[in-house]
């Protein structure tokens, strides 16, 4: 069975500063990895995904993530954040057969002016 | 392309009452999922359908929760009778038959008093 650990429940940063949201997973099989964003009172929106190939994945809104198989990590980064990035971010994993997503607990990103 | 539709968006009921949620997936998507998201946690899969058949309902509390997808398109999730701990956001998602990526609806926020 897979599991996901998001290492920070809350991350406050100043506007235009860089940010990294950390995600570690455990799985005995090959996986797909995802980052979703959830704005207040909304559903989940896909930011980016790693399926195969290049370990550096670029997504929407200037976000990127790097898959590190040896460290079983998939950290999300953005070089310069904006107030509009304030949201909850979820890391998720699925095995390549079942399509079942297992989510982390979420990281609340707060951007201060 | 229209996204995943859910209704109602909000529902308040008293414990021991029944409630039903509706989901219409993205057109052509064979796989449909229902997730429960309790405040402060990541979404947890309740049930997964492939067309109108159940693929995984291992985490569905079957004594009170039921779900159906009769014509392989839209789906309903029912809770009867509701408990206080059922207060959560219920998210519906869909993916294509070979799709790795799930697309989420806006969710239904349930409050049980």
Q: Which residues of A touch B58 (CB under 8 A)?
A: none
pLDDT at B103 over 90: yes
Q: Which two tokens stand for residue A13?
A: 């940063």
Min Cα separation B5/chain A (Å): 11
Q: Which residues of chain A have pLDDT under 70?
A: 98
Distance CA A86, CA A39 (A): 8
Sign (positive/negative) of CA torsion A95, A100, A102, A103?
positive
* Inter-chain Cβ pairs, chain A and chain B, closer than 8 A: 54
Nearest to B101 among A41, A49, A104 (CB): A49
Q: Using 50, 70 and 90 to split pLDDT, how confident is the model at B1?
A: low
| Residue A98, pLDDT score | 66
Q: Which residues of B touch A103 (CB under 8 A)?
A: 42-44
CB atoms within 10 A of CB A66: 16
Q: Using 50, 70 and 90 to split pLDDT, how confident is the model at B110?
A: very high
| Residue A61, pLDDT score | 93
């Amino acid at each position: 069975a897979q599991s996901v650990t998001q290492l920070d429940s809350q991350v406050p940063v100043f506007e235009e500063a860089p940010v990294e949201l950390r995600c570690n997973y455990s799985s005995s099989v090959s996986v797909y990895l995802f980052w979703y964003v959830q704005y207040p009172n909304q559903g989940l929106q896909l930011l980016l995904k790693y399926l195969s190939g290049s370990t550096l994945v670029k997504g929407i809104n200037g976000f990127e993530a790097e898959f590190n198989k040896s460290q079983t990590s998939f950290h999300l980064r953005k070089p310069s954040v904006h107030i509009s990035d304030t949201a909850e971010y979820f890391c998720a994993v699925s095995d390549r057969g079942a399509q079942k997503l297992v989510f982390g607990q979420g990281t609340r990103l707060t951007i201060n002016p | 392309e229209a996204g995943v539709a859910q209704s109602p968006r909000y529902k308040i009921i008293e414990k021991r009452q029944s409630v039903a949620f509706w989901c219409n997936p993205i057109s052509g998507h064979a796989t449909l999922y229902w997730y429960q998201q309790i405040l402060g946690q990541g979404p947890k899969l309740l049930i997964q359908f492939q067309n109108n058949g159940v693929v995984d309902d291992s985490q569905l509390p079957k004594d009170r929760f039921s779900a159906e997808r009769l014509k392989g398109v839209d789906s309903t999730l029912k809770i009867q009778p509701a408990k206080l701990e059922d207060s959560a956001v219920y998210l519906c998602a869909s993916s294509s038959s070979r799709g790795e990526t799930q697309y989420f609806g806006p969710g239904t926020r349930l409050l049980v008093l």
